[in-house]
Chains A and B, each alone.
Chain A
Amino acid sequence: MTGCAKRCKQGLVKFAVTLHKLVTGSLIKDKADDDLEMTMVCHRPEGLDQLEAQTNFSKRELQVLYRGFKNECPSGVVNEDTFKQIYSQFFPHGDASTYAHYLFNAFDTGHTGSIKFEDFVTALSILLRGSVTEKLQWTFNLYDINRDGYINKEEMTDIVRAIYDMMGKYTYPVLKNDAPKQHVDAFFQKMDKNRDGVVTLDEFILSCQEDENIMRSLQLFENVI
């Protein structure tokens, strides 16, 4: 009963206040003020020298990279939605959001939910200027969705399906439903040396080093920047 009485009293007070506002003409609820409390997250990267030391890029390259990055994301961080949006623009035929999600997680090494410039530049440094082992390690990290050190068939199927999604519907030859599965089977056939159903980092690196195609392709991306 007391709760009810208290609520009634509160309601009455509110009503009286509203009536007062009605009479004095200041009833307009100003909603605009609420929106101004946007959180302005702003992140500044570490100094140029430090970044140069940590990555394999020169100062000039870092400058160019940062200018582009800052232009796109004035707040200094990229969140997942923006990331997905940006990545999807390169693949207009299909749906790149799933793969972008995995990619985002691979970039976001600290699992903060947003990519800062340092993460961005570190990853790029590995991918473009890193050694073969580093690149393969990064790729393994990408495939290992739950970060448990093993790639199992489900994870691989997810990744492969996400990649096939990016192709879209109109492909030649026509995409069959079991194409991802076949692809995964072929992959495991090659990579899983001890046939235990999972691929570890060492198995992965070893198998890739044996494959000439992969080794050759890894060199192709040296000059992207």
Chain B
Amino acid sequence: MAAGVATWLPFARAAAVGWLPLAKKTMPKPPVDNSSRSDEILYLNVSGVRFQTWKNTLDRYPDTLLGSSEKEFFFNEDTEEYFFDRDHEMFRHILNFYRTGKLHYPRHECIQAFDEELAFYGIVPEIIGDCCMEEYRDRKKENQERLAEDTEANESMDAPLPPDSTPRERLWRAFENPHTSTMALVFYYVTGFFIAVSVIANVVETVPCRPPEGRIKDLPCGEKYQLAFFCMDTACVLIFTFEYLMRLFAAPSRCKFMRSVMSVIDVVAIMPYYIGLVMPENEDVSGAFVTLRVFRVFRIFKFSRHSQGLRILGYTLKSCASELGFLLFSLTMAIIIFATVMFYAEKGTKGSTFTSIPASFWYTIVTMTTLGYGDMVPNTIAGKIFGSICSLSGVLVIALPVPVIVSNFSRIYHQNQRADKRRAQQKVRLARIRMAKKGTTNAFLQYKEDRALGGRDSDSTALCVKNRSAFEHQHHHLLHCLEKTTNHEFTDEMTYSELCMTESVGFRTSRSTSLSSQQGAQNNPTGCCPRRARRRAAMRLANSTASVSRGSVQELDTLHIKTTSIPPQTRSSLNAQADNLKLNCGEQDFTAAIISIPTPPANTPDESLPPSPAPIPGILRNTRATAFTHETVKISSL
């Protein structure tokens, strides 16, 4: 109900006395109202600024926070006031809404902040008064557009493809966004080059060349080197046809693709050639054929795929369609009026060029656009007077819609600029956000490692622990509980992505790997590959930084670890936790994994494995089954 209706309710109820004599039945009992009737002043403390208002004022809108019992949650008994930890400047507007019944939108505030405040206080934005509603709507729309652009940029084509895309999808991506792969880029530039070649050829073939021997007249180059031009044209058309067919094949929705503007331009660009091939050398149709050749110039529009500026121009014209229409209409009206006037003014004179009204159209257009060729000139005084009025008005009529078109163009252009800038900044922003996120996950993994460490070596725990707040401790405990619940462990992003990659690849090889390394662990064979065995042993020193070469199958079972700067506080054993290894997927030359094979201690003379409870055979998939031991065992191999 609208503002203040609550104030009038008692009066409406009192007026119900007027129905009593007419009533056929007895009136129902009125509701019992135990609340104190006397009005009181409430104190509202918003971030230290105290507001005071009557209780009745707030009760006007019982479906908001302040008008309902929800505000009791914010009541502070010590100070006997309602405390809200929100912005006091915006609270002013909210409170004024209760007082006056009109909600105003402060122009200098951010629209999202305002919306959030309204949501907090339970006020629907639709009741913003008419004075501020338009401004509010405009800003909201602008904000939503920006957000839409943002999300669009986020899920834009620059994101890596999901791994399970069909070749068709990949092809479409390559076409739409050439920057994704080198092949696409090459194709993009090749088509661009051929478009340019085709257009230049079309232009050059009409230039007069020196005539061959035996002729006097200059021949256009197209006829002199007919074969060459024909070959060039054929090549271009072949490329264009190929491109069109590829796009048609790759398009997710063929119907939609065929109806799109670019597709139509493509078709129009290559059609004349095929029609020319098919058509016989007939005199009658050759005229039509010549017309068709004109369409070859449309190939220049194919450049709009390559040039963003052209696209912007196209969008602008589309969005200004109504202004352009208006311009055209008003011009037509003015042309007809002035042409008529000029014709009748010049009718009498001898040798006048104004032979008919349509003939005067030409004069009018040339004059209104201030071209003034001078091929048609009025001679009579009346004609001259009207001619001058015509040229003056022409300037006005043309100048009117131009600012609208210009502002549209400017808006679209700036939108594009913003989108580009945002895309560039987005990468930096995302990188920073990712780093921050990694920081927190690393904190947890570090905590785990420290805990494991702490289990064995209580000296260092003291050092590690002191830098963490109570919040972090509790948070880490929570994550730990989750790990225990699901029987899985947290790991870092790179390990995970590489595990995904290699799980499919390395199933069998890693099995062999595990076996071989198990063997290696058991009995340092000096057999076939002594160097490898020694390297394996060396590998077990987690601190070693041997690089690995990917490659032949034989290399596969040597596991090399590349450690990085994360302080490997664990000792040399295979207890190296996953986080100690920054498995560097970016580099081509390796991947490695750690195996911690909980073989019985007797078999491993050269290092001290911690006593591990359950003998889990060196496993391929013990990424999953590591809940039993602290020592995570992850294997991957390449």
User: What is A's interface to B at a CB cutoff of 8 Å?
Assistant: 60, 63-64, 67-69, 71-72, 86-87, 89-90, 103, 106, 120, 123-124, 127-128, 135-136, 138-139, 142-143, 159-160, 163, 183, 186-187, 191, 204, 208, 213-214, 216-218, 220-221, 223-225
Contact = CB atoms under 8 A, between A and B. Distances in A.
A139 B23 CA distance: 13
Contacts, number: 98
B5 A163 contact: no
Contacts of A106: 18
Interface stretch (B27-35, B70-78, B188-196, B462-470): B27-35
B56 A67 contact: yes
Contact of A213 (B4, B12, B26, B56): B26
Contact of A127 (B15, B29, B100, B101): B15
A90 to B, nearest CB: 5
A223 B38 contact: no
B198 to A, nearest CB: 58
A71 B8 CA distance: 11
Interface in B1-51: 1-2, 4-5, 7-27, 29-30, 33, 37-39
Contacts of A90: 5, 8-9, 12
A120 B11 contact: yes
Given A71-B4, A87-B12, A127-B14, A208 B33 contact: no
A103 B20 contact: no
A68 B56 contact: yes
A64 B39 contact: yes
A87 B101 CA distance: 17
A138 B20 CA distance: 12
B16 A221 contact: yes
Interface string B97-129: 001110000000000000000000000000000
A103 B18 contact: yes
Contacts of A136: 21
Is the contact region of chain B dominated by helix, strand, or loop, or is it mixed? Answer: helix
Contact of B56 (A60, A64, A143, A183): A64
Nearest to B37: A225
A68 to B, nearest CB: 3
B14 A220 contact: no
B26 A217 contact: yes
B54 interface: yes
Given A142-B18, A214-B20, A218-B20, 13 more contacts: A69-B7, A71-B7, A89-B1, A89-B5, A135-B17, A136-B21, A139-B17, A159-B22, A217-B23, A220-B27, A224-B13, A224-B14, A225-B10
A187 B22 contact: yes
B14 A221 contact: yes
Minimum-distance CB pairs A-B, first 10: A68-B7, A127-B14, A217-B27, A72-B4, A224-B13, A142-B18, A213-B26, A224-B10, A127-B17, A90-B12
